[in-house]
Amino acid sequence: MDYQLFTVLSACSKLTNGLVVTLKMQKRYISLDAAERTTLEAGRHHHPQHQFRARCQGLLWSADGQSVPALAALLNVSQGTVYGWFNRWEQGGLAGLANAKGQGRPAILQPADQQRVEAAVRANRQQLKDVTAVLRQELRKDFSALTLKRFLKSVGANGGASATG
Protein backbone atom coordinates (compact mmCIF):
# COMPACT_ATOMS: atom_id res chain seq x y z
CA MET A 1 0.00 0.00 0.00
CA ASP A 2 1.24 3.43 -0.82
CA TYR A 3 0.56 5.80 2.06
CA GLN A 4 1.03 9.38 1.16
CA LEU A 5 1.46 11.77 4.00
CA PHE A 6 1.59 15.39 3.09
CA THR A 7 2.79 18.19 5.25
CA VAL A 8 1.62 21.75 5.26
CA LEU A 9 3.99 24.26 6.76
CA SER A 10 2.54 27.31 8.38
CA ALA A 11 4.55 30.18 9.68
CA CYS A 12 3.85 31.79 13.01
CA SER A 13 5.46 34.98 14.16
CA LYS A 14 6.25 35.43 17.78
CA LEU A 15 7.60 38.55 19.42
CA THR A 16 10.27 37.68 21.98
CA ASN A 17 12.34 40.44 23.65
CA GLY A 18 11.93 42.69 20.65
CA LEU A 19 12.99 39.97 18.21
CA VAL A 20 10.68 38.46 15.67
CA VAL A 21 11.12 34.72 15.49
CA THR A 22 9.42 32.71 12.78
CA LEU A 23 8.36 29.25 13.88
CA LYS A 24 7.38 26.62 11.38
CA MET A 25 4.72 24.30 12.70
CA GLN A 26 4.20 21.04 10.91
CA LYS A 27 0.60 20.08 10.27
CA ARG A 28 0.07 16.42 9.56
CA TYR A 29 -2.74 14.87 7.58
CA ILE A 30 -3.41 11.44 6.16
CA SER A 31 -4.08 11.05 2.46
CA LEU A 32 -6.28 8.13 1.43
CA ASP A 33 -7.05 6.54 -1.91
CA ALA A 34 -10.55 5.24 -2.65
CA ALA A 35 -9.79 1.66 -1.54
CA GLU A 36 -8.26 2.79 1.76
CA ARG A 37 -11.21 5.09 2.42
CA THR A 38 -13.64 2.22 1.76
CA THR A 39 -11.69 -0.05 4.10
CA LEU A 40 -11.67 2.54 6.90
CA GLU A 41 -15.38 3.25 6.39
CA ALA A 42 -16.11 -0.47 6.81
CA GLY A 43 -13.95 -0.60 9.96
CA ARG A 44 -15.68 2.47 11.35
CA HIS A 45 -19.13 0.96 10.85
CA HIS A 46 -18.66 -2.75 11.55
CA HIS A 47 -15.71 -3.45 13.85
CA PRO A 48 -16.74 -4.76 17.31
CA GLN A 49 -14.16 -2.69 19.25
CA HIS A 50 -14.98 0.94 20.01
CA GLN A 51 -11.31 1.99 20.03
CA PHE A 52 -10.77 0.59 16.54
CA ARG A 53 -13.85 2.40 15.22
CA ALA A 54 -12.62 5.68 16.75
CA ARG A 55 -9.20 5.25 15.11
CA CYS A 56 -10.83 4.66 11.73
CA GLN A 57 -13.03 7.74 12.20
CA GLY A 58 -10.02 9.86 13.14
CA LEU A 59 -8.12 8.86 10.01
CA LEU A 60 -11.15 9.55 7.83
CA TRP A 61 -11.60 13.00 9.37
CA SER A 62 -7.90 13.70 8.89
CA ALA A 63 -8.18 12.83 5.22
CA ASP A 64 -11.09 15.28 5.06
CA GLY A 65 -8.82 18.05 6.37
CA GLN A 66 -9.38 18.05 10.14
CA SER A 67 -6.30 19.09 12.12
CA VAL A 68 -4.72 16.93 14.82
CA PRO A 69 -5.87 19.25 17.65
CA ALA A 70 -9.42 19.14 16.28
CA LEU A 71 -9.33 15.34 16.01
CA ALA A 72 -8.02 15.03 19.55
CA ALA A 73 -10.83 17.24 20.85
CA LEU A 74 -13.54 15.46 18.82
CA LEU A 75 -12.42 11.99 19.89
CA ASN A 76 -11.51 12.93 23.47
CA VAL A 77 -7.90 11.75 23.21
CA SER A 78 -4.52 13.50 23.33
CA GLN A 79 -2.78 14.84 20.26
CA GLY A 80 0.01 12.31 20.85
CA THR A 81 -2.56 9.54 20.60
CA VAL A 82 -3.72 10.84 17.21
CA TYR A 83 -0.13 11.02 15.96
CA GLY A 84 0.31 7.43 17.20
CA TRP A 85 -2.71 6.37 15.11
CA PHE A 86 -1.15 8.03 12.06
CA ASN A 87 2.11 6.16 12.65
CA ARG A 88 0.31 2.84 13.18
CA TRP A 89 -1.69 3.34 9.96
CA GLU A 90 1.45 4.19 7.96
CA GLN A 91 3.41 1.23 9.32
CA GLY A 92 0.75 -1.47 9.53
CA GLY A 93 -2.29 -0.37 7.57
CA LEU A 94 -5.65 -1.47 8.93
CA ALA A 95 -4.06 -4.22 11.04
CA GLY A 96 -1.92 -1.56 12.73
CA LEU A 97 -5.05 0.09 14.13
CA ALA A 98 -6.13 -3.02 16.05
CA ASN A 99 -5.53 -3.29 19.79
CA ALA A 100 -2.26 -5.03 20.52
CA LYS A 101 -2.33 -8.45 22.13
CA GLY A 102 -2.02 -8.29 25.87
CA GLN A 103 -4.22 -5.26 26.39
CA GLY A 104 -6.24 -5.42 29.56
CA ARG A 105 -5.77 -7.28 32.79
CA PRO A 106 -4.34 -10.80 32.57
CA ALA A 107 -6.59 -13.60 33.75
CA ILE A 108 -5.93 -14.96 37.24
CA LEU A 109 -6.81 -18.53 36.31
CA GLN A 110 -5.08 -19.72 33.15
CA PRO A 111 -5.98 -22.60 30.82
CA ALA A 112 -3.03 -24.48 32.32
CA ASP A 113 -4.96 -24.55 35.62
CA GLN A 114 -8.03 -26.17 34.06
CA GLN A 115 -7.30 -29.81 35.01
CA ARG A 116 -6.60 -28.97 38.66
CA VAL A 117 -9.70 -26.78 38.86
CA GLU A 118 -11.96 -29.45 37.33
CA ALA A 119 -10.56 -32.10 39.68
CA ALA A 120 -11.23 -29.90 42.71
CA VAL A 121 -14.77 -29.19 41.50
CA ARG A 122 -15.46 -32.91 40.98
CA ALA A 123 -14.24 -33.62 44.52
CA ASN A 124 -16.63 -31.08 46.05
CA ARG A 125 -19.38 -30.15 43.58
CA GLN A 126 -21.83 -28.63 46.03
CA GLN A 127 -19.60 -26.05 47.74
CA LEU A 128 -17.85 -23.66 45.37
CA LYS A 129 -16.52 -21.66 48.34
CA ASP A 130 -14.74 -24.77 49.62
CA VAL A 131 -13.34 -25.50 46.17
CA THR A 132 -12.12 -21.88 45.98
CA ALA A 133 -10.35 -22.18 49.35
CA VAL A 134 -8.62 -25.44 48.33
CA LEU A 135 -7.54 -24.04 44.96
CA ARG A 136 -6.22 -20.81 46.48
CA GLN A 137 -3.79 -22.86 48.56
CA GLU A 138 -2.98 -25.35 45.83
CA LEU A 139 -2.43 -22.78 43.04
CA ARG A 140 -1.12 -20.03 45.35
CA LYS A 141 -3.37 -17.49 43.67
CA ASP A 142 -5.87 -15.15 45.27
CA PHE A 143 -9.31 -15.21 43.61
CA SER A 144 -12.98 -15.27 44.52
CA ALA A 145 -15.66 -17.89 44.04
CA LEU A 146 -17.13 -15.64 41.34
CA THR A 147 -13.79 -15.67 39.48
CA LEU A 148 -13.79 -19.46 39.70
CA LYS A 149 -17.35 -19.61 38.38
CA ARG A 150 -16.44 -17.33 35.43
CA PHE A 151 -13.39 -19.47 34.66
CA LEU A 152 -15.43 -22.67 34.66
CA LYS A 153 -17.98 -21.07 32.37
CA SER A 154 -15.28 -19.77 29.99
CA VAL A 155 -13.62 -23.19 29.61
CA GLY A 156 -16.97 -24.92 29.21
CA ALA A 157 -16.44 -27.12 32.25
CA ASN A 158 -19.56 -29.00 33.16
CA GLY A 159 -18.81 -29.14 36.85
CA GLY A 160 -22.36 -28.38 37.94
CA ALA A 161 -20.93 -26.28 40.77
CA SER A 162 -23.16 -23.84 42.54
CA ALA A 163 -22.17 -20.19 42.96
CA THR A 164 -23.67 -20.23 46.41
CA GLY A 165 -22.16 -22.22 49.14
What per-residue confidence (pLDDT) applies to 111?
Answer: 87
Contact 117, 147 (CB under 8 A): no
Nearest to 156 by CA among 129, 126, 118: 118
What per-residue confidence (pLDDT) applies to 39?
Answer: 93
- Residue boundaries of the structural domains of the chain: 4-96, 111-155
What are 144-148's contacts with CB under 8 Å, separation 24+?
147/108, 147/109, 148/109, 148/117
The amino acid that residue 3 corresponds to is Y
Q: pTM of the prediction? A: 0.55
What per-residue confidence (pLDDT) applies to 91?
Answer: 94
Residues 6+ apart with CB under 8 A from 7: 26, 27, 28
What per-residue confidence (pLDDT) applies to 163?
Answer: 45
CA atoms of 57 and 43, how far apart (whole Å): 9
CA atoms of 83 and 86, how far apart (whole Å): 5
Please list the ranges in the chain whose pLDDT falls under 70. 1-26, 157-165
